[in-house]
Structure 1
Amino acid sequence: MKEVQAILFDLDGVITDTAEYHYLAWKKLARELGIEIDRTFNEQLKGVSRIDSLEKILAYGNRLQDFTREEKEALANKKNELYKKMITNITPADLLPGIKEFLEEVKQANLKTGIASASKNAFRVIDYLQVGDYFDIIVDAAKVEKGKPDPEIFLKGADQLGVDYCTCIGIEDAAAGIKAIKSAGMFAVGIGSRTELKEADIILSSTNELTLETILPAYKNTSAAQ
């Protein structure tokens, strides 16, 4: 059994909750296109890349064939500009409950850390939250070709940290992210719904429950069983 060497974090819904800003930006853009989306539909967009999210919205509104690739890129960029204006108000107070303490604990345990988020604004958000010192790397989503549930972003994270995939723990709040972690051969910690995140190795109801005392024994038990 190999010891844990690194923990890779999703950003939205794990470190901070910018999901609301994503939702409001997508909702505004969709409405301009004559498409109404609600919070239930928005669950499909969590952890998904910007262009894939747009295509889901266009398909939902039966407008998928109405735009060229270039027009879709322009729409995706428009959404991003809306989102960037909204997140300028983020401060360290927007860290999710227990996250600062968990990051402290992880650093004290000398585990490597990284952000594996589909957000191309991850660097900016981490800066606003003032937690950059807790992360060894942030995977640049702009250089990731395949979005979650493809494992590429988690594999890149492990490669940048120089650790074996099987020694990594990934933390996610979205089903697509959990699938990506498992496909990468990593141990998956889900934050949220037991129904939606059923493929995770361990599921916690909130970030407040994140402790090494909670997740390391589960990792060891899973590794020993393999």
Structure 2
Amino acid sequence: MIRLVIFDLDGVIVSTDELHYLAWKTIADREGIPFDRKINNRLRGVSRKESLEIILSYSKKKYSEAEKETLMKQKNDIYVASLKELSSSDIFPGTREVLEQLKQLGVLTGLASSSKNARLILEKIALTKAFDCIVDGNMIAHSKPHPEVFKKAADILQIPYENALVVEDAKSGIDGAKNANMLAVGIGDAGTYEKCDYKIDFLTELIPIIKFINMQANS
């Protein structure tokens, strides 16, 4: 029985992947570190600090912790500045309808993101009040694939982990969901990952899955 659906933010509700890429690309270019979209794919779903460590692994220079903190701040400043153009028109099609349908079905909704800017993004796209709980990078010690962010969302809403389903667009998020003993729905390319319980191309495909699971549970 599914009583809670937990959504990742970036790549599921809205896409700021390109903004992240351009911000990291700016930092890498300044430092003379090779950085392309293939490397960028390794950063999906992981924290800012872990992303930086991946990028710096391509550099011959050794960076102090203070230098790393400076680079992370510079990247975040570039990224946050680029968010000023973000608006509700950037939400993926069908998102609001799916959230409303889940509410009508009596299913709670949570947002679980490793990003420390998740609430800012939600404000920009006018979705802050659309979720029953929001867990972001400021509230967790471990990023995906650690299950902490998903477990915290379920704990806040007092829902057993086995009654929660996670929608993710990255392998690290799928792994995190499975590590939390939750069902995992892969959207887009993540749907090809063998650990996914279900695959969808669009959020609107989620409702029939929830109805099917709950019908089976009640039969």
Please report how far the alpha carbon of residue 39 of structure 1 lies from its aligned counterpart in structure 2 after TM superposition: 1.4
Please report how far the alpha carbon of residue 83 of structure 1 lies from its aligned counterpart in structure 2 after TM superposition: 0.4
| 1:172–1:46 Cα change, 3 Å | same
Amino acid at match of 2:38: T
**In structure 1, distance between residues paired with 2:170 and 2:190:** 11
Q: Are 2:11 and 1:16 aligned? A: no
Query: 2:68 corresponds to which residue?
Result: 72
**In structure 2, distance between residues paired with 1:79 and 1:177:** 23
Map of 1:156-171 to 2, 5 A cutoff?
Answer: 156-171=152-167
Amino acid at match of 1:193: D
**In structure 2, distance between residues paired with 1:182 and 1:167:** 13
Q: Are 2:217 and 1:200 aligned? A: no
User: Residue 202 of structure 1 contacts residue 215 of structure 1 at CA under 8 Å; is this kept in 2?
Assistant: no
Normalising by the residue count of structure 1, what TM-score does the alignment of the two structures yield?
0.90
Amino acid at match of 1:108: Q
Give the 3-state SS of the residue equivalent to 2:89 in structure 1: helix
Which 4+ runs in 1 deviate beyond 3 A? Answer: 218-221
Amino acid at match of 2:159: V
Q: Are 2:56 and 1:58 aligned? A: yes
Instruction: In structure 2, list runs of 5 or more residues that go unmatched.
Output: none
Q: Are 2:163 and 1:176 aligned? A: no
Normalising by the residue count of structure 2, what TM-score does the alignment of the two structures yield?
0.93
Give the 3-state SS of the residue equivalent to 1:193 in structure 2: helix
Q: Are 2:78 and 1:85 aligned? A: no
User: Residue 2 of structure 2 contacts residue 213 of structure 2 at CA under 8 Å; is this kept in 1?
Assistant: no
| 1:48–1:93 Cα change, 3 Å | same
Please report how far the alpha carbon of residue 174 of structure 1 lies from its aligned counterpart in structure 2 after TM superposition: 0.3
Give the 3-state SS of the residue equivalent to 2:189 in structure 1: coil
Root-mean-square deviation over aligned CA pairs: 1.8
| 1:82–1:105 Cα change, 3 Å | same
**In structure 2, distance between residues paired with 1:41 and 1:205:** 24
**In structure 2, distance between residues paired with 1:74 and 1:115:** 29
Q: Are 2:129 and 1:133 aligned? A: yes
User: Residue 175 of structure 1 contacts residue 196 of structure 1 at CA under 8 Å; is this kept in 2?
Assistant: no
**In structure 1, distance between residues paired with 2:198 and 2:214:** 9
Q: Are 2:118 and 1:118 aligned? A: no
Query: 2:208 corresponds to which residue?
Result: 213
Amino acid at match of 2:119: F
Q: Could you give the per-residue CA deviations for residues 146-179 of structure 1, whole angstroms, max 9, x where no partner exists? A: 1111111111111111110110010100000000
Q: Could you give the per-residue CA deviations for residues 52-96 of structure 1, whole angstroms, max 9, x where no partner exists? A: 000000102344xx1112221221111111100001111110001
User: Residue 165 of structure 2 contacts residue 183 of structure 2 at CA under 8 Å; is this kept in 1?
Assistant: yes
User: Bigger CA drift: 211-220 or 107-116?
Assistant: 211-220
Map of 1:30-69 to 2, 5 A cutoff?
Answer: 30-63=28-61, 66-69=62-65
Aligned residues: 218
**In structure 2, distance between residues paired with 1:84 and 1:156:** 25
**In structure 1, distance between residues paired with 2:138 and 2:215:** 34
User: Residue 165 of structure 1 contacts residue 185 of structure 1 at CA under 8 Å; is this kept in 2?
Assistant: yes
